[in-house]
A and B are shown apart, each in its own frame.
Chain A
């Protein structure tokens, strides 16, 4: 089922909700989740409220996404991060490329 994707009513926000484990096993699925974004989308939201476990390939996947979408969307937000996940983003200095909440 996961990741779950939702488009906001006005079509500008696209939310990807991740499962409890975000690691290399998600590579294909995660890549597909943003491969056919409608042109109306200006903000991509990655919802990590369920995510407890993450490995370094997850960081790679996010960076890849950022690179692919850089010209298409204005912002990528990483939202609802748990303390441990947020800390890993901090160590990797992801705050320079993403809005982390």
Chain B
């Protein structure tokens, strides 16, 4: 129901007007005597139209303006009752902001026609207003959702700060969300991993695959999984996740401690460039594979390119967005263009390269995501892998015949040690040492096997068959293993003792010289891998010191 507000100081005319409006079926009419009263009422009773006596408004323009402001964002029609048919007075009403005038005395048909026309505009304006509010609400929602997603992306795609210091890179998305991806990480071994890739398309839709990809890359690279296995993992994830027309071109690389030996897997990306210090292209790592997310796991190919660069060489990686940039006359930069820039200025840093690119493009708009990185080949810092825990610990266990048959305590111990901070790097050596000591205690101490059996290929296998037989028949026997970690000396003291005949080391010593003998090299290996090897109690007890600093 339409709500009409009448401002009329004269009570008699006021009643007359209200009566007219009632006749015209406007049932909700409020009358006030002054502008001040009207202004306070407008917002509270949601007025649809104001009919005001011209004389009631002392400074009409300001007062009409104020009434309309109080009504909020929708249009509030103000009709002014003008007593005279003088043009000047009527004009004054319009100039003050009235939307129409009502000449007094008022004919009901005129009132009806003019009021209806104004109310139609009011209704239109209200509809528009509510659509506007709805749109603004949607907009606010989208902004909020984008902000949340951007926040998640920023956190999920944050680049490992250790690795970041080693690689110079630049990411320029064409919209809020990047369909390009650049990640790097250092593994527990201290090797450097990187991934540069490009999802089909750009914007949010193409960025969606970045999250699972980043997660898979960060966890696998930390464990020093080979690049082709990382590629295979991401491939199956994306194959499952992405719609059929979406895929991910990418290069995954691992660079060893020396900073020169690299293993590269390239699927569907432009070639990775290796430039010499003089600016010559030393090697191009072209794509050998299809993009990720296309092939079934069993069709997936694992071939990897391996290369040893010179110190000082630069590895340059980029997405196609870079070489497809066009200058104002429409010429594409191309790989030749990029290579030319790198040849002209071999030590150009990424920031400067990006500036050259912007100058090349001129005022044109960036159409695709652009990603670019550079790695200077050279020794990687190894601090991360060298951090050693601060607390001393002792680990001791004793296995008896049944345990020995059922499990290999060395494997269990290594699995445990490898999870300790700073020790993973040593787990390979510790495995070799512990295996050697344990095998000696078991095979020679408890099972009394003779290594000379290993002299021939068939004897070698026979030796292990015999080992199995005697192990099955073993009725008594114990082996105890004790590890002491000393954080101050940064070393692990390893003690192994067996309840049997011990290990007759004199037989084996020096046989490593005879390269053809497939046995006896164990003890020599031990001496190389550890600081000290000492046998006591007729060979039943052995102490080895392993230095973590070596």
Contact = CB atoms under 8 A, between A and B. Distances in A.
Interface string A50-70: 101111110111011001100
Given A54-B431, A59-B521, A91 B529 contact: yes
Nearest to B428: A84
Contacts of A21: 411, 431
Interface string A23-53: 1110110010000000000000000011011
B414 A53 contact: yes
Interface string A9-23: 000000000000101
A83 interface: yes
Nearest to B191: A83
B428 A52 contact: yes
B366 interface: no
B contact patch SS = helix
Nearest to A49: B226
A85 interface: yes
A25 B411 CA distance: 12
B458 to A, nearest CB: 9
A18 to B, nearest CB: 12
Interface in B499-539: 512, 515-519, 521-522, 524-525, 528-529
Interface residues of B, number: 36
Given A82-B428, A83-B257, A92-B525, A61 B435 contact: no
Nearest to B256: A83
The listed residue with most B CB atoms (<10 A of its CB), out of A56, A57, A60, A101, is A56
The listed residue with most A CB atoms (<10 A of its CB), out of B431, B432, B522, is B432
Contacts of A96: 515
Contacts of B168: none
A97 B461 contact: no
B416 to A, nearest CB: 14
A55 B439 contact: yes
Contacts of B461: 27-28, 31
Contacts, number: 94
B464 A83 contact: no
B457 interface: yes
A31 B457 contact: yes
A60 B454 contact: yes
Interface string B460-486: 110010010000000000000000000
B189 interface: yes
Contacts of A74: none
B406 to A, nearest CB: 14
Given A91-B524, A92-B521, 13 more contacts: A21-B411, A24-B464, A24-B467, A49-B226, A53-B414, A53-B431, A54-B432, A55-B431, A55-B439, A59-B518, A67-B516, A82-B428, A92-B525
Interface string A79-101: 01011110110011100110001
Contacts of A28: 461, 464
Given A21-B411, A54-B428, A68 B457 contact: yes
7 contacts: A31-B457, A52-B431, A56-B432, A56-B521, A63-B516, A67-B457, A82-B428
A57 B263 CA distance: 29
